[in-house]
Amino acid sequence: MTRRPPAEIPEDHRRAPHLFQGITDGGQEFDLQVGTVRRRAGSSQLVQAHVRAMSRGRPITNDDLYQDETEIVLFIRNRQRVDIRLNPGNTYSVGHRTARSLRAIVTEVLDRFEPKPPSGMAP
């Protein structure tokens, strides 16, 4: 599979392929993975599931204990793994940085990890 530039990343995670392999202009290779994982529900979701089950007069089922979540992960070659959080309202965030498009947040993270030339070197 050929590596593509970050400009070809879709704006929305729903249109992104499961695996996007890319390379920046500076030669930094990266992999963007988008998928759905099944995770155990948090405490507040468990309480809500219990209340719903009790109102129906039924016990909690296995489906109430787990929920599907979208997982977006950026692997920067020879650097690290960066988890991109999908917020309500379809915005994306990494740490305190937020963007409206997947392409914008990935580009911002890649710029932060782009190899820099050594400082203090005289030309």
- What total number of domains does the chain contain? 1
pTM (2 d.p.): 0.78
| Closest C-alpha among 117, 111, 116 to residue 30 | 111
Residue 53 lies in a domain: yes
Q: What is the pLDDT of residue 123?
A: 54
Question: Could you tell me the strand order of the sheet in which 97-99 lies?
Answer: 19-23, 29-40, 66-76, 80-87, 91-94, 97-99
Q: Give the three-state DSSP class for 77.
A: coil
Q: What is the pLDDT of residue 122?
A: 54
Residue 119 lies in a domain: no
How far is 63 from 43, CA to CA, in rounded Å?
Answer: 15
Q: What is the pLDDT of residue 90?
A: 87
Residue 56 lies in a domain: yes
The two three-digit tokens of residue 23, written as one number:
């390379």
Residue 122 lies in a domain: no
How far is 45 from 22, CA to CA, in rounded Å?
Answer: 37
Cα-based distances in Å from 36 to 26, 54, 69, 119: 31, 29, 6, 42
Residue 41 lies in a domain: yes
Q: What is the pLDDT of residue 93?
A: 95
Residue ranges, the chain, pLDDT below 70: 1, 120-123
Q: What is the CB-side half-sphere exposure of residue 9 using CA atoms within 13 A? A: 28
Q: What is the pLDDT of residue 65?
A: 87
Q: What is the pLDDT of residue 120?
A: 61
Residue range(s) defining the domain that contains residue 49: 6-113
Q: What is the pLDDT of residue 81?
A: 93
Residue 16 lies in a domain: yes
